[in-house]
Chains A and B, each alone.
Chain A
Amino acid sequence: MQSREFYLRTGPFLTHLTTSSPRLLEALPALYDARCFVERPEFCDFHVSVGSPALRRWIRPKIEFLFEGAPIFTPSPIDHAVPVFESGLNWAISTTINQYLIIHAAAVERGGRAMIIPGLSGSGKSTLCAGLAFRGWRLLSDELTLIAPATIELLALARPINLKNESIEVVRRLSPGIVFSRPAEDTLKGTVSLAKPPEDSIARMDERARPRWIVFPTFEKGSATKLSARPRAETFVELAANAINYGVLGDVGFNTLAEVVTQSRCFELAYGDLEDAVRLLTELSESA
């Protein structure tokens, strides 16, 4: 199989990807905007590859993600190449980058102010993030929120949004123009499909934003949309638990997070209807 090389620019990072996976080769030009593909830079932050291990090319073929030549995960079915690449890149960022505080959370921006949406798998975090991003907010990131300690600003990654199971259909209904990768079935998280971020989010991926809101979502079928205030101290503790390199950063991690929480209004959001939740949060952003 022919392998091809790509140089991808996503926010502050340059990634050198080598892949022979037909699934990934098909998805890349669909999920990543033309301006994300750059000429070979002299220095790349991450050198990764997605391909089949030598012994797994013909017999029950599998796909694996290599970071700097080393496998990171156990091999996956070849149809999972796209989510494998995306989670591999998340792994690379969150295990090697310590000049930013990294929170496992989605983040979107409106009027220069950012909303941080932390949440475990199943909380409706990515769905809410996609809903906001396709309704006028700018996508910063759907998985990893990066915060610069010196300026307390959020950075954008503007990478594809990872959607699972029913949420794929929910997001598809938001707008007919959204581009999705072919769904990968039976992954650890069920069916996964990635959505290309809106044009504007990519065009502005170098723009930073100040933290303003922290919203913990809970999705429940049929639930009424309800936004309620959350104590700052509690928010801090929970955000710290979601901050991947909080302990590594020591004092810097503590001070950065404290500043983020101090500058933000903190809420929890119960929702059953995406459009309703998006409307409520957009109103919130217009009021304060």
Chain B
Amino acid sequence: MVQRRDSLAQALRDPKELAHASLADWDRLVPQARRAGLLGRLAHLIDRSIGLDAVPDRVRSHLLSARILAEKRRREVVFEIDRLVELLQDVLGRVILLKGAAYVVTDLPPAAGRIFNDIDILVPKDQLATVEAMLSLGGWRLGEIDPYDEEYYRRWMHQIPPLVNSARNSAIDVHHTLVPTTARVALDARILLEGVIAVQGKPHLAVLSPPDMVLHSAVHLFSEGEFERGLRDLDDLDLLFRHFGEGGSFWEPLLERARALDLDRPLYYALRYASEVLGTPIPSEVVAEMEARRPPRTTLALMDAAFRRAFRSPHPDSRDSLTGPALAMLYVRSHYLRMPLHLLVPHLLRKATRSTAVDPAVP
């Protein structure tokens, strides 16, 4: 049997092998998958390979439960997207969806069995105030947020603070670009907006082009500070690479786009860890080209040590003695990527001195 710590990644890679899993194997796997937000995804993969009937009864009911929950989240997302279109179509013409919501409306593989945290939309910066006002009419307002955090979002981030619908508790992240305005990599949002593509049969919706969608997912994941859902996000990337990669003319535009937007680094990491952890097939010429863009050896050694731990389930069985330091390092790194040092130090000091509430885990 595989190393216990990596059994979830192994199951995602090769669900067929689960036909031979013992009850004791499932006893370790189900909690790991649930903690990683991947139990619904796993149920879908099993359904499509060996079939859910091949799973012991007691285990199957957990897989079915997770699938029912994922299906509910999907219905909610579809419902909320309709509300967004109603509210915003007059001001924006079309609503540009990012991440999970985009996967759902275009029926991409990561939509299957996925648990959503919120809906992300991309809005031209000069329309932000109008959009925020319209969303407020629809019930989406700022959640409880301390004035410092609000100021931090509005001044430095690539999105405004999350808006929460008071009636339904659904949350929307309104982005005006893909990376924080202070980030080392500046990104002209207009280039992204020009590249969006319409969603077939849904004239008021648009999503990023395949290369941009992948780059956004990568830049988001590899500048992230928290990895509770890290493996889930890496699995999204794996599925996108596999899906778009089959289409033929995907890799070349992707590599060009990464260069043009100065996003080589996140793309390199995405390919490296997706193939390492989840076995993503990548054409050899792409690997060769990206190797030329790799980070310095010492940086990479450090990143390997950190990300290999971050891309495991947050379940205690998946952790080792270095998981804590690795995650702490990635947390500081995420802030360092977002802000220059003279802004970062006071910010982290403030975060450290403020008591943090317990974050209730989401199953």
Contacts and interface: CB of A to CB of B under 8 A. Distances in A.
Interface of A: 14, 41-45, 47, 67-75, 95-99, 247-250
B242 interface: no
Interface of A is mostly: loop
B315 A250 contact: no
Given A43-B27, A248-B68, A96 B363 contact: yes
Contacts of B357: 74
Contacts of A250: 71-72, 75
Contacts of A42: 22-24, 27
Interface in B28-44: 30-31, 34-35
B247 interface: no
Given A45-B62, A95-B363, 7 more contacts: A42-B22, A43-B27, A67-B363, A69-B314, A69-B315, A71-B358, A74-B357
Contacts of B317: 69
B27 A69 contact: no
Task: From B24, B68, B315, name the one whose CB has the most chain A CB atoms within 10 angstroms.
Answer: B68
Contact of B65 (A47, A72, A96): A96
16 contacts: A41-B23, A43-B24, A43-B58, A47-B31, A67-B361, A69-B316, A69-B317, A70-B314, A72-B361, A75-B358, A96-B66, A98-B66, A248-B68, A248-B69, A249-B68, A250-B75
Interface of B is mostly: helix
Contacts of A98: 64-66, 68-69
Task: From A14, A43, A95, name the one whose CB has the most chain B CB atoms within 10 angstroms.
Answer: A43
Contacts of A95: 363
Given A43-B56, A99-B65, A250-B72, A70 B24 contact: no
Nearest to B319: A69
Contact of B360 (A73, A99, A249): A73
A146 to B, nearest CB: 12
Contacts of B31: 47, 68-69
For the complex of A and B, the 3 pairs showing the least CB-CB separation, nearest first, are: A70-B361, A42-B23, A98-B65
B27 A71 contact: no
Task: From A70, A73, A95, name the one whose CB has the most chain B CB atoms within 10 angstroms.
Answer: A70
A147 to B, nearest CB: 15
Nearest to B59: A43
B61 interface: yes
A44 B26 CA distance: 9
Interface string B64-96: 111011011001000000000000000000000
Nearest to A71: B358
Interface of B: 22-24, 26-27, 30-31, 34-35, 56, 58-59, 61-62, 64-66, 68-69, 71-72, 75, 314-317, 357-358, 360-361, 363
Contacts, number: 71
A250 B30 CA distance: 24
A224 to B, nearest CB: 40
A43 B23 contact: yes
A251 to B, nearest CB: 11
A162 to B, nearest CB: 21
B114 to A, nearest CB: 15
B95 to A, nearest CB: 24
A68 B22 CA distance: 20
A156 B357 CA distance: 36
A9 to B, nearest CB: 12
A69 B35 contact: yes
A44 B62 CA distance: 11
A192 B363 CA distance: 27
Contacts of B62: 45, 96
A47 B27 CA distance: 9
B34 A96 contact: yes
Contacts of B314: 69-70
Contacts of A248: 68-69, 72
Contacts of A99: 61, 64-65, 68
Nearest to B26: A43
B72 A247 contact: yes
Contacts of B68: 98-99, 248-249
B81 to A, nearest CB: 18
B69 A71 contact: no
A72 B361 CA distance: 6
A75 B357 CA distance: 11
Task: From B71, B72, B75, name the one whose CB has the most chain A CB atoms within 10 angstroms.
Answer: B72
A8 to B, nearest CB: 15
Task: From B23, B31, B357, name the one whose CB has the most chain A CB atoms within 10 angstroms.
Answer: B31
A97 B65 contact: yes
Nearest to B317: A69
Contacts of A74: 357-358
B119 to A, nearest CB: 18
Contacts of B34: 68, 96
A235 to B, nearest CB: 24
Contacts of B65: 96-99
A70 B316 CA distance: 9
A250 B360 CA distance: 25
Contacts of A247: 72
A248 B70 CA distance: 9
A43 B60 CA distance: 12
A159 B363 CA distance: 23
Contacts of A249: 68, 72
